[in-house]
């Protein structure tokens, strides 16, 4: 079972009845797995993480056990409800499952969610494999309900996406739901909020005692010469690199279990802290007065591994790590970066934008791949929704070129609407493009408010991006098929010339999701091909070229026909035709 499936299983066994979230690698499969327990558990993809968090908070106030799932950057969006929910407290247990991405496999930054636990003064659990992912979810739920506090369960890419064996148990029967009116508890206006602030600190003292006695924290006594404090996936690497060392393994790591740390630190000769990303444990252990080694030997950037910790061990022991020469046969291999898939509806839009001297502010999604050469048509990416708002800011600052903002459909609903509202309200002039492929593609095709389907597969209203655009005060709203290259070029040129803000929705479903070709496969007729290489500017993985004439790989070609429209010699056509 994957770590994510195990978290979902734990939530199910804990009697959770409401699960919410927004997709984000590496967290996405938690909610997808939990949704399989419908109708015992109600699950939804919310438009964004803030909404998801609030929906879970509402359920919890009514007494239901709930979870909310997101990736690390999603918690920034949901930070607002988190920071005050710890004041007003929960009724049914609420666990926020947040997955970090050390190494930035699929993320725009590498932030460490453990900081949020301390920031919001909420308990933190950190599983190191799938069995713990399930067990800790249940422990977290108990702690949440016992102390009326939201709890963060922090996973990482390697915990979420590794599989290991998990023993399953029965589901706890859910309790009854019904909000019990108690304004001095649930309404943090200053007169009631200040006592809440006091109670928050008192609760932390109790939670520290709870962490010190928790089965999620344990000392493994082995050789006392070296003692290692560690948590999460780093524990697994530590066990292989220092099999002889004593280990304090923290699974319930905030509030810091000081009694355990004291017991461990005073029982060993040398203390090392091994943690992925920030030096949170190390700084705390030092603040207790112990001479702990940590960041000096263990890297704080990128993910840890057995190999990196072997180097740490060598450094700690004062010996040089033998430098392994990489195999000479693996030198100068051509890189294979991720690319827009064959038949991707985004490709033509980037190609068309390449015809204009404009600035393009982008967003988070598959279309971030449009930043690579040869498409090379994205100048910035910040966070979800920023593709729209940053275009507006650049335009207002006096950028001499026309500014184009790009978002996806799911991103538009996530946090693009408010940016568009700003453009409509504050007399912006940017051209906003929504690349609507009818799904949240990058994370594995999740539904969203525009698709007409819920997470559990029920039909629902498909909300219209165009109508949102008009409601935001954008008068020039167009819908265009991105596979028609001439019309795409014309739509973009027309809107760039307009002296008003506009919204172009390029709509075509993701062929990867539809699992079918867009059209007939294309072939290159070598007798007509002049070798001009214009088709290569599309960066289509199906078009292979090694120095003579381009060849279309029939296994990959999705039949979108863009290459045929780009070819000036008429050398590309569907199979069977001349």
Partner 1 sequence: MSEKIRSVVLAGVGGQGILLASEVLARAAMIAGYDVKTNEVHGMAQRGGSVIAQVRYGPEVYSPLVARKSALVLGALEQIEALRFADLLAPDGLAVVNAQAIVPVTVSMGAAKYPQDIESRLWKAFPKLIYLKAAEMAKDLGNIQAANIVLLGAVSQGLDLPDEAWQEAIAASVKEKFRELNLKAFEAGRSLV
The footprint of partner 1 (CB under 8 A) covers: 25-26, 28, 105-106, 129, 158, 161-165, 233, 235-237, 239-240, 243, 305-307, 310, 324, 326-327, 329-330, 332-341, 366, 369, 373-374, 442-444, 536, 539-541, 543-546, 550, 553
For the CB of residue 184, give the shortest distance to partner 1 in the complex, in Å: 45
For the CB of residue 101, give the shortest distance to partner 1 in the complex, in Å: 9
For the CB of residue 133, give the shortest distance to partner 1 in the complex, in Å: 12
Residue positions counted in the chain: 578
Judged by beta carbon, residue 164 or residue 525, the one nearer partner 1 is 164
For the CB of residue 56, give the shortest distance to partner 1 in the complex, in Å: 24
Judged by beta carbon, residue 376 or residue 466, the one nearer partner 1 is 376
For the CB of residue 271, give the shortest distance to partner 1 in the complex, in Å: 21
Judged by beta carbon, residue 28 or residue 253, the one nearer partner 1 is 28
427's tokens: 């007399």
Report how far residue 384's alpha carbon sits from residue 476's, in angstroms, rounded to the nearest whole number.
23
Using an 8 Å Cβ cutoff, are 346 and 482 in contact? yes
Closest C-alpha among 436, 403, 413, 418 to residue 502: 403
Judged by beta carbon, residue 144 or residue 157, the one nearer partner 1 is 157
Judged by beta carbon, residue 417 or residue 563, the one nearer partner 1 is 563
Using an 8 Å Cβ cutoff, are 429 and 476 in contact? no
**Can you name the residues that pair with 66 across neighbouring β-strands?**
18, 94
CA 95 to chain centre: 17
Judged by beta carbon, residue 504 or residue 539, the one nearer partner 1 is 539
Judged by beta carbon, residue 140 or residue 366, the one nearer partner 1 is 366
Using an 8 Å Cβ cutoff, are 138 and 14 in contact? yes
Judged by beta carbon, residue 467 or residue 544, the one nearer partner 1 is 544
401's tokens: 């070129």
**Can you name the residues that pair with 226 across neighbouring β-strands?**
270
334's tokens: 């051509």
For the CB of residue 460, give the shortest distance to partner 1 in the complex, in Å: 26
3-state secondary structure of 249: strand
For 115, which DSSP code?
H
3-state secondary structure of 401: coil
249-277 burial code (b ≥16 CB/10 A, e <16):
bbbbbbbbbbebbeebbeebeebbbbbbb
Judged by beta carbon, residue 241 or residue 358, the one nearer partner 1 is 241
For the CB of residue 371, give the shortest distance to partner 1 in the complex, in Å: 12
Look at the block and give the residue holding tokens 């088709």.
535
For the CB of residue 490, give the shortest distance to partner 1 in the complex, in Å: 27
Report how far residue 205's alpha carbon sits from residue 212's, in angstroms, rounded to the nearest whole number.
11
For the CB of residue 136, give the shortest distance to partner 1 in the complex, in Å: 17
The half-sphere exposure of 303 on its side-chain side, counting CA atoms within 13 A, is 19
Judged by beta carbon, residue 71 or residue 154, the one nearer partner 1 is 71
Q: Are strands 522-524 and 42-45 parallel, antiparallel or unpaired?
A: unpaired
* End-to-end alpha carbon distance in the chain: 52
For the CB of residue 193, give the shortest distance to partner 1 in the complex, in Å: 40
Using an 8 Å Cβ cutoff, are 159 and 97 in contact? no
């Amino acid at each position: 079972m994957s770590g994510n499936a195990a978290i979902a299983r734990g939530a199910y066994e804990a009697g959770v009845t409401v699960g919410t979230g927004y997709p984000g690698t590496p967290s996405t499969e938690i909610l997808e797995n939990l949704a399989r327990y419908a109708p015992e558990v109600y699950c939804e993809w919310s438009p964004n993480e803030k909404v998801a968090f609030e929906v879970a908070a509402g359920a919890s106030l009514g007494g239901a056990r709930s979870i909310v799932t997101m990736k690390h950057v999603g918690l920034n969006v949901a930070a607002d409800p988190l920071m005050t929910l710890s004041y007003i407290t929960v009724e049914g247990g609420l666990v926020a499952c947040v997955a970090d991405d050390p190494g930035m496999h699929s993320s725009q930054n590498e932030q460490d969610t453990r900081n949020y636990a301390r920031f919001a003064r909420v308990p933190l659990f950190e599983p190191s494999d799938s069995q713990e992912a399930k067990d800790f979810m249940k422990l977290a739920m108990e702690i949440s309900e016992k102390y009326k506090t939201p709890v963060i369960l922090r996973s990482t890419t390697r915990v979420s996406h590794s599989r290991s064996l998990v023993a399953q148990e029965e589901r706890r029967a859910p309790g009854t739901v019904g909000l019990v009116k108690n304004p001095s508890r649930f309404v943090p206006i200053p007169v009631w909020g200040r006592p809440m602030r006091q109670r928050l600190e008192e609760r932390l003292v109790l939670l520290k005692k709870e962490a010190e006695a928790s089965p999620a924290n344990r000392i493994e006594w082995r050789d006392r010469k070296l003692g290692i404090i560690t948590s999460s996936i780093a524990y697994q690497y530590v066990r292989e690199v220092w099999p002889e060392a004593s280990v304090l393994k923290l699974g319930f790591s905030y509030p810091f279990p000081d009694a355990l740390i004291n017991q461990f630190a005073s029982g060993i000769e040398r203390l090392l802290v091994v943690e992925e990303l920030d030096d949170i444990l190390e700084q705390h252990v030092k603040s207790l007065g112990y001479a702990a080694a940590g960041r000096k030997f263990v890297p704080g950037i990128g993910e840890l591994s057995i190999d990196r910790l072997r180097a740490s061990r060598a450094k700690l022991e004062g010996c040089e790590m033998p430098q392994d020469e990489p195999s000479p046969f693996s030198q100068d291999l051509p890189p294979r970066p991720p690319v827009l898939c064959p038949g991707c509806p985004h490709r033509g839009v980037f190609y068309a934008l390449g015809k204009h001297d404009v600035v393009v502010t982008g967003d988070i999604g598959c279309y971030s791949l449009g930043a690579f050469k040869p498409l090379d048509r994205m100048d910035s990416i910040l966070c979800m929704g920023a593709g729209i708002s940053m275009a507006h800011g650049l335009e207002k600052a006096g950028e001499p070129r026309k500014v184009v903002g790009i978002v996806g459909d799911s991103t538009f609903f996530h946090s693009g609407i408010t940016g568009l509202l700003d453009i409509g309200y504050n007399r912006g002039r940017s051209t906003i493009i929504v690349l609507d492929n009818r799904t949240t593609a990058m994370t594995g095709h999740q539904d969203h408010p525009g698709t007409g389907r819920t997470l559990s597969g029920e039909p629902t209203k498909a909300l219209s991006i165009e109508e949102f655009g008009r409601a935001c005060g954008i008068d020039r709203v167009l819908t265009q098929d991105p596979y028609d290259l001439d019309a795409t070029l014309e739509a973009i040129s027309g809107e760039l010339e307009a002296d008003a803000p506009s919204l172009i929705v390029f709509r075509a479903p993701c062929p990867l999701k539809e699992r079918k070709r867009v059209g007939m496969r294309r072939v290159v007729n070598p007798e007509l091909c002049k070798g001009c290489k214009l088709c290569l500017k599309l960066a289509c993985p199906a078009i292979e070229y090694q120095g003579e004439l381009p060849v279309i790989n029939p296994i990959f070609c999705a039949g979108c026909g863009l290459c045929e429209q780009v070819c000036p010699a008429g050398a590309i056509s569907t199979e069977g035709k001349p």
